[in-house]
A and B are shown apart, each in its own frame.
Chain A
Amino acid sequence: MSDANSRFEVVVVGAGPAGLAAAAAAAESGRRTLVLDATPWLGGQIWRGREAKGGSGSAKRWLARLQATDAVVARQTTVVAAPRPGVLLAESPEGPREIGWETLILTIGARELFLPFPGWTLPGVVGIGGLQVLVKGGWPLDGKRIVIAGSGPLLFAAGAEYRAAGADVVLIAEQTDLGKLARFGLSLPRLAPRKITQAAQYQASLLGVPYRPGCWAVSAQGADRLEGVTLRSSRRTWTERCDVLATGFGFLPNLELPRLFGCRTANGAAVVDDRQESSQAGIFIAGEPTGIGGEGRALVEGLIAGFSAAGRLERAGRLEKKRRRAMAFSRAMDRAFALREEVRNLASPETLICRCEDVARRDLEKFGDWRAAKLHTRCGMGPCQGRICGGAVEKLYGWDAASNRPPVFPVQIGTLRDPEPGSRGASK
């Protein structure tokens, strides 16, 4: 561990907005900093593709801010385990890598929440974010009839992107009702003034697309692939013909790493103090894992974590007001887009909950908790290790589907077996 490229004062796991901000703050404070990410690009899922295009808006600013520092960047590097205190084991293109840290900042983002409903496993039913990734990768949607159903501001952003990629966006169904949306809209000028411009831009690009609050998809139909979706509102139930149904019900904090390190979690999020430090001394957590809040909250929490990790508590403290405002915005979002009971409960007894192990809802019903259900149905024991069904059963039954057994991500056995402590793979 004497190798200079394998030991850092501050290691930031995840290079989304929170990670970039944290790494920049730590490096600007003179700490020898490494920021690593599983992807080949910087910016995380939210700024995917921005780096290659030279960036724009806040992505461009934050990428430039990081690049102006001495922070070391490791791409395509996935943390899979913590073999010893103060050491991460990661898989990288050059092979297994051990990375020593004195202070750790976890900025590992969130994942989409998938809620099972009858027909959700048909080809043609996709996650909103997943389809955005395909579109950004150049996947054509020319002439495809798309229904977007789910909850949250992402519905707008996705609709605009799909349309720009040539899709015929038939309908955007937002499960939350108009009253809640209106109250949320009214709170925007106070909580997040810039969101108004953003919303206006999306609205303009979605001109002519029906946006229905208080409406949700109850089932998808089709023989071999999706042919239509049945929707419901307080007034009626009807079917729309479509080629693609994009669903998204919000996000879930990624908590595998915090749990691996024994950091306390509560209500599905990591618990941190006002310096972003977790219950484990020396481990800071920022961004979505502490509570879904989007880019704004991620950036301010990232900065606070970076400054705190560098011991600059006073500098971090100056961001407190911004942080509080970002958290108020998160709470307003949570209230506005809270999932209605009908939506949590769409799965029929035959609906698959665990797609890896083919476990239907009726197989789970007999059990009182996640552990018993998992043991006896093998729900969550497949390749995704409960990343998808875990969120679904949390919403369906209130089960805590936490798992913290290594590896954090599926990994080549060679990586676990024979890590070569060292340096390869680090690049600026």
Chain B
Amino acid sequence: MTNMNKTASSMTANSATAPNRHESGEIRLVDIAKKFGNTYAVQNINLTIPHGSYCCLLGPSGCGKTTILRMIAGHETPSSGEIYIGDQMVVGKTPVERGTAMMFQSYALFPHLTILDNVAFYLKMRSVGKDERRQKAEEMLRRVQLHHLRDRMPAQLSGGQQQRVALARSLITNPRVLLLDEPLSALDEFLRLKMRGELKSLQNELGITFVHVTHTQPEAIALADMVVVMDTGRIDQADSAKVIFNSPKTPYVARFMGGQNVLTGNVEKASSGTVRIVTAGGATFEAASGEAKATPGQPLSIAVRRDRIKLRRRSADQKSAAVNEISGVVESTEYQGSYVKVTLDLGGDVFVANVSDADYFAEPVDRGDAVTASWLKADVHTLSKVDTGAAGDPYANSSH
């Protein structure tokens, strides 16, 4: 970590002397669509990524997040729409003209070139003299702490080292936007967490825009100033990590981010900032109505965080009538160290409570036990879309 900090500060110094790199790294996508054959990979994409932010594009595989990254990078041309970086329209421009650099998922280090020549490749393409480009590449390698490996071939390096070389090779172009395509997916768990920290501090020090594609929620939450959650070909929500996690707008985001239970019922009453809904099973919930439009008789979905749920045993035939309570049967329990994940069967639907280890072991429940789950009104928030269930939503009823 400290290595990369040193690294980064000297890189900033370097980029300050480079010409034409003072421009803003703000990325603006306007009405972007991309068609492959007759199907849209992405559609109606409008997104502004502020200059100098760490943005994560998050979504399941096939949602179009990599397509968006590749369009920003210039490796894919949008079928329609405009892409701006700073105040420059970049559609049709080369990556170097855009001031972007991309780090590929497989790193794509040239296997026939030494580490040094890999890093110096950009300078070679710009016809920088051999001595000068080697010297600059050596500086860059020294900054990523790989100078001692400069004469090795890529195949002789570990995954983590290869990734640092790929970073050095991208950063030598002095980009204002760095694009990372699942940069951590090829690493083992330990290295992944280490490199995650290094990427974040590198971005802090460089102050340029990072756009990072991932399908891992914790990675996005840990890194990003801005999380963009994608469904099939469209953006569901773009917000800060805290907002995305605590106040998902749609059932899809709530489920995809994990940590939330989605419940749906019909609005019975909406008054003085409180909305009351009743489920098909007869349970009654109350929530602050928030932004959601609540018309009596209309369906409404709410989300409750898994770690705000209290569980208590009940006798099997007893149904709960209290507000913000729901009855179910324990389907499984999974010990997670600091908490226990208890999955309930609500008669078809799945409901998850993350009970702190202290509370759980004070009153343990087991598979088959009848329990009642309860929560506070303050821990509920309403969703702007009604949950349509499993249809078209692969994350419905999954308890990942």
Q: Do A and B bind each other?
A: no
